[in-house]
A and B are shown apart, each in its own frame.
Chain A
C-alpha cells in the first residue's frame, strides 16, 4: 500500500529557508500516472496548495508563492522536496505532501488529491 511521509525541521528561523522532504513508500514516484504535490494549513485556517511536480521534473506552482518556492524530485530515493525561502511567521503551518492523478496518454491532469501524508508542523520563530 503506497504511503507518503513528510520529514524535515519543525522549527525554522524568520528569513531562512524551509526545507521538507516527502518519501514515497510502497510504490514508485516514477509512475506515469501521478503528480506529487505540497499543501499547507496554517493553524486555524484553511488548506492552501503550494505546488506540484512530475517525476520528469515538470512543475506547477501557486502564483501567490511562486517567487519563494522550489519543488524538486529525486527518483533514486523515491522522494520529492519543498524549499520555501524567506519565511515569516505567516508560513507557520502543517505541511502535507499528496499525489494527484495524471492521464499520461491524454495529458489531462486531475487536481484533486487522492492520497495524502499525515503532515508535519513547521513553526517559523526566532
Chain B
C-alpha cells in the first residue's frame, strides 16, 4: 500500500500570498493518479484536482496541481479568504482500488 506524506502539517500565510503544498508517495504513483481535496470545518470535502493536474469542474484557476512519480504539489497562486482550509491528497493508482490518502495540510491565516 502506498503511503502519502503531506508537508508541511500546517502552513501559516496571509491572504494574497502563494501557497505550496507537498504530497510525497512511498512508491511511484502510476499514471499520475493523484487527486487533491479541500475540506473546511463541518463541510464536505471538495475535489480540486485529479490526474495530478486537471482541475475539477468549477475550481478557480488559482489552484493548480503538478508532479509525477513520487512528488506532487498543489499550488494556490494567491490565497483568498475562502481558501483557508485543510487539503488532502489521494493516490488512486494502486491497491486498494479506492487508493490511499495523505494526512492533510492545514492552511491557516497568519
Contacts and interface: CB of A to CB of B under 8 A. Distances in A.
Nearest to A65: B96
The dominant DSSP class at the B interface is: loop
30 contacts: A37-B98, A39-B98, A46-B100, A46-B101, A46-B104, A48-B100, A49-B99, A49-B100, A49-B101, A52-B97, A60-B97, A60-B98, A62-B96, A62-B97, A63-B95, A64-B96, A98-B45, A109-B97, A110-B92, A111-B33, A111-B99, A112-B33, A112-B90, A112-B92, A113-B90, A114-B47, A114-B50, A116-B45, A118-B42, A118-B43
A103 B33 CA distance: 16
Interface of A: 4, 37, 39, 45-52, 60, 62-64, 96, 98, 109-119
A103 B98 CA distance: 16
Contact of B90 (A47, A52, A64): A47
A112 B50 contact: yes
Chain B contact residues (Cβ within 8 angstroms of A): what range?
A: 20 to 34
Closest 10 CB pairs of A and B: A49-B98, A111-B92, A47-B101, A112-B35, A116-B44, A112-B50, A62-B96, A116-B45, A118-B44, A114-B47
B103 interface: yes
Choose among A39, A49, A64, A112 the residue with the greatest number of B CB atoms under 10 Å from its CB: A112
Contacts of A51: 98
Contact of B101 (A48, A50, A64): A48
A112 B57 CA distance: 13
Given A49-B97, A49-B98, A98-B45, 12 more contacts: A45-B103, A46-B102, A47-B88, A49-B96, A51-B98, A62-B97, A96-B45, A110-B50, A113-B45, A117-B44, A118-B42, A118-B43
